[in-house]
Structure 1
Amino acid sequence: MFFAHAAVRVSNGTIGQFGDFLNAKGLVYGLPMVWGITAFELGGSVLLALGYFVRSLSAGFIMMLLIGIVLIHASLGWFVGEHGTGGSEYSFLLIIVLWVLAATAEKHPATL
């Protein structure tokens, strides 16, 4: 899901828009931040799917989702579809999934 999210951002050319949005929220360096987020989503999702650095990547994705909730989704309510638009429910689901994934990851160096 993270890979698809980032790939659409790149293919649709909306990285600049997202950077401008972050700047409007009071963050400096919005464009470099978006490129960093996008790179993390692309690379991190592949590594996570392959089972590498599961705990670290899960923690990074959880942090990214929490920040997204604060900056974007919380003001749009709880529901994402049908009963709302762009709310927090899906982000919370992903956080729970990542938390379970990290908690159940095997304890060897590649999953840390």
Structure 2
Amino acid sequence: MFAVELFFNKEFDEYVRKVWMHFDKKGISYFMNRFENLSPHITLAVYTDISDLKGFKEQLEIYFDNVSPLRLRFDIVATFPTSGTIFLAPTMTEELQRLHKDYYNKLDKYNN
């Protein structure tokens, strides 16, 4: 399984990690804080299989070379019901929606 994830700037990354630690200390949710090598992120796409991984990586690099940083807002706190993971959901802005649509259009041949 493969995922394409968008990562945050240092300040927001640190903020989210502090929230994870707070939830862990209060006994609300420990999953994210104790998951090794996990960074706060937005998952843009998930693939069960990519037959041409080298070509995919090349196209991914070309695509993201032309993408500017996004301004995002997170207005919703939600949970994944199966794991109990608490997450901040991004507000769907025109910019985020355009990125999502454009990504799937440009890398369409890898969609499975």
**Per the shorter chain, which TM-score range?**
0.3 to 0.5
Q: Which has the higher strand share?
A: 2
The structure with more helix, counted as a fraction of residues? 1
Over alpha carbons, which structure has the higher Rg?
2
Q: TM-score, length-normalised on structure 1? A: 0.35
